[in-house]
């Protein structure tokens, strides 16, 4: 496996000739803070991209438009404060990790185009609000991890339509009551609500 210095990864077209590459590991490049729109151009067969534990705070909205085959994306332990618009180009993505960032909110449109997504990890962020409809288009959703955030309230229709969801982590938040409905989660097998502040169910 080749290794690349962090400085070179911002140069447009760095990996342009690697059209057969299927996995790219760039984790723990602490000087990598931004990804240019053309950084990943040419990686038409890339299936897995590992950007764990860098210092990325911003991603160009068109960065992933060159990755039609990407299925797994690890952006855990970076410095992102919001869900990037760039995810809207990932039509094949099944697994996404944003664990350990600084994300505070999940909007209605934040994840709307990730219709193939199965596993979403948002653990250990600063999420305190999730709008109704945030997960509405994720009909293949199987695993959702929202543990260790700052969530106090779950909108009543937040999980509507997630009939394939099997595991959901909501532990270690600040939830005081469970007012949302779980009635459509027909395939749910594991639900974690431990270490909250629940006083009524």
Amino acid 200: pLDDT:
82
Which range of residues forms the domain containing residue 33? 1-98
Calculate ∠ Cα 40-94-90, nearest 5°: 40
Instruction: Determine the Cα–Cα distance for residues 199 and 201; give it in Å rounded to an integer.
Output: 7
Find the CATH number of the domain harbouring 61. 3.80.10.10
**Residue that terminates a domain, selected from 81, 98, 115:** 98
Q: Which of 53, 44, 60, 47 is closest to 26 using CA atoms? A: 53
Instruction: Determine the Cα–Cα distance for residues 97 and 8; give it in Å rounded to an integer.
Output: 24
Whether 107 and 90 map to the same domain: the answer is no
Q: Is 133 left (phi over 0), alpha (psi -120 to 50) or beta?
A: left
Amino acid 155: pLDDT:
84
Whether 194 and 123 map to the same domain: the answer is yes
**Residue that terminates a domain, selected from 82, 98, 114:** 98
Amino acid 8: pLDDT:
45
Tens place of pLDDT per residue across the chain (201 aa): 434 444 445 566 789 899 999 999 999 999 999 988 888 999 999 999 999 999 999 999 999 998 999 999 999 999 999 999 999 889 999 999 999 999 999 999 999 899 999 999 999 999 999 999 999 999 999 999 999 999 998 888 899 889 999 999 999 999 998 877 788 899 999 999 999 999 988
| DSSP codes joined into one string, 109-132 | TTTTT-TT--EEE--SS---EE-T
Residue 173 Cα to chain centre, angstroms: 18
Whether 63 and 85 map to the same domain: the answer is yes
The model carries a pTM of 0.92
Whether the Cβ atoms of residue 78 and residue 59 lie closer than 8 Å to each other: no
């Amino acid at each position: 496996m080749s290794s690349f210095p962090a400085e070179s990864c911002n140069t447009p077209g760095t990996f342009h000739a690697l059209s057969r590459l299927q996995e790219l590991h760039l984790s723990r490049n602490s000087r990598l803070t931004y990804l240019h729109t053309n950084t990943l151009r040419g990686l038409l067969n890339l299936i897995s991209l590992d950007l764990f534990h860098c210092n990325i705070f911003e991603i160009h909205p068109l960065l992933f438009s060159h990755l039609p085959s990407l299925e797994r994306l690890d952006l855990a332990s970076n410095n992102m404060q919001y869900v990037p618009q760039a995810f809207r180009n990932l039509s094949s993505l099944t697994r996404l990790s944003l664990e350990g960032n600084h994300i505070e909110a999940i909007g209605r449109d934040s994840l709307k185009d990730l219709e193939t997504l199965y596993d979403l990890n948002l653990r250990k962020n600063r999420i305190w609000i999730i709008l109704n409809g945030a997960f509405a288009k994720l009909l293949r959703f199987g695993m959702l991890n929202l543990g260790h955030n700052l969530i106090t309230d779950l909108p009543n229709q937040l999980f509507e339509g997630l009939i394939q969801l099997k595991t959901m982590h909501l532990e270690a938040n600040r939830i005081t009551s469970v007012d949302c409905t779980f009635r459509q989660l027909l395939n749910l097998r594991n639900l974690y609500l431990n270490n909250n502040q629940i006083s009524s169910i």
